[in-house]
Structure 1
């Protein structure tokens, strides 16, 4: 039976789990083929050349074989190369990277490519590996917004979702699961002004949206955090994201 091969595909490993005593299943985010599952045979053996390479949050080039008609869910890893460019994120950056990986695992269907999203993810991971300081929150919020938009889960931020009334610059609004954007009430803990939502909407529609959305998020990242997390959790379903729960547990110590 003929075996096709995908060569030198840009990729990141999102998750790995045991397949046998010596092998692993890798859930990978690739630039041209989306999320793919690969079996890395013998990778747990001390002599395996894959062992120091197959790490999360590291830019890789992967090659794998596709047997038969290509309809199988899991393909066989043939080679893996570390591309380099940055070190492994640590501390808060590592937790944030694992959070993004869990989001992609929960929200992306297999074999559905999102090249622009892949490029944005690669850029965010590079930031997480640096001394990111105060830029971390805007970086995460910008990625969350663009992830929702890429997957078709983000309503227009220029109108109220249920009434289709235009957003007014001096009125405050909140983004909520299912109901979308609505006018804020005194009971809402966080909201953004209409002018801020309109700035985000304009940034999302630029030719190269990520830097524009990032700039728009700088002054409202704190207010966006809870709103975006609620919408993302709604689309991820149950249970609660493990990394989010871990972050909350650490903050409560």
Structure 2
């Protein structure tokens, strides 16, 4: 297998042997895969590849190999590395962690790749983080086959009512429920859900969007906590568990 200059982003990297790196990358046409970059940490007259092999930088990667782990053979920048800092950096790290945890290897997701690139660009602009994250999460769920309607009751098929209350069910999506404070079965106001269905992720419905999508993603992430979420809570001790 030989792939030439594939659009890609690095999701995670770790040292390997004396001077190499193992890269977890997300490619436009080949999905998530692992590459070994031989000698990437070794300095040479032409400079180190390490300067290019950074997260949040659009790259063109060439690689080859027959085994599960391919060998990186060429790397070129496809644009400037996005300058992310503070909460926007933690949010971008969260996106990377979702992709590493939830994507199967060698499963192409070109639509998700575009959504990821767009989310990074929005975060780099240092605006509100809610809308970029929520839009990406919804595309991710749809690409993985876990999408559900934000405007219809998953059992009856009837449209949600603004005055109603709804719970999330793993097999049916949103179903009619009752208001309450049971953390094991959160309730969501119909008005908030309908706002989300219209793409309104900022403002009054933002808390409901964050809580709902966190509940849904937790079903698929398992029990291991997200490191990016822990880092955010350390930065904002009073932010609570919803972030």
Query: TM-score, normalised to structure 1's length?
Result: 0.82
Give 3-state SS (helix, strand or coil) of 2:107's partner. Answer: coil
Match in the other structure for 1:126 = 121
Instruction: Give ranges in structure 1 of 5+ residues lacking alignment.
Output: 204-212
Give 3-state SS (helix, strand or coil) of 1:79's partner. Answer: strand
Shift of 1:252: 1.0
* 1:232 correspondence with 2:217: yes
Shift of 1:26: 0.3
Q: Which moved more, 1:240-249 or 1:50-59?
A: 240-249
Distance (Å, rounded) in 2 between the aligned partners of 1:37 and 1:146: 23
Distance 1:218 1:188, change over 3 A: farther
Contact between 2:56 and 2:82, CA under 8 Å: does it hold in 1? no
Match in the other structure for 1:206 = none
Match in the other structure for 2:103 = 108
Instruction: Give ranges in structure 2 of 5+ residues lacking alignment.
Output: 239-243
Match of 2:201 among 217, 234, 251: 217
Distance 1:103 1:184, change over 3 A: farther
Match in the other structure for 1:8 = 5
Contact between 2:63 and 2:73, CA under 8 Å: does it hold in 1? yes
Shift of 1:121: 0.4
Match in the other structure for 2:145 = 152
Contact between 1:177 and 1:230, CA under 8 Å: does it hold in 2? no
Match in the other structure for 2:229 = 244
Match in the other structure for 2:241 = none
* 1:185 correspondence with 2:182: no
Q: Which moved more, 1:81-90 or 1:16-25?
A: 81-90
Distance (Å, rounded) in 1 between the aligned partners of 2:141 and 2:75: 30
Contact between 2:167 and 2:174, CA under 8 Å: does it hold in 1? yes
RMSD: 2.2
Distance 1:104 1:194, change over 3 A: same
Contact between 2:25 and 2:32, CA under 8 Å: does it hold in 1? yes
Distance (Å, rounded) in 2 between the aligned partners of 1:86 and 1:75: 24
Query: TM-score, normalised to structure 2's length?
Result: 0.85
Report the count of equivalent residues: 231
Report Cα offsets for 1:58-114 as digits up to 9, x if no partner: 1111111133xxxx2100001111112453211111111111000000000000011
Within a 5 Å distance, the mapping from 1:192-203 to structure 2 comes to: 192-198=188-194, 200-201=196-197
Report Cα offsets for 1:211-237 as digits up to 9, x if no partner: xx3xx2233222211221122122011
Report Cα offsets for 1:155-214 as digits up to 9, x if no partner: 2334333x335222331324365663232422268754435534644x6xxxxxxxxx3x
Match in the other structure for 2:60 = 61
Match of 2:42 among 42, 45, 55: 45
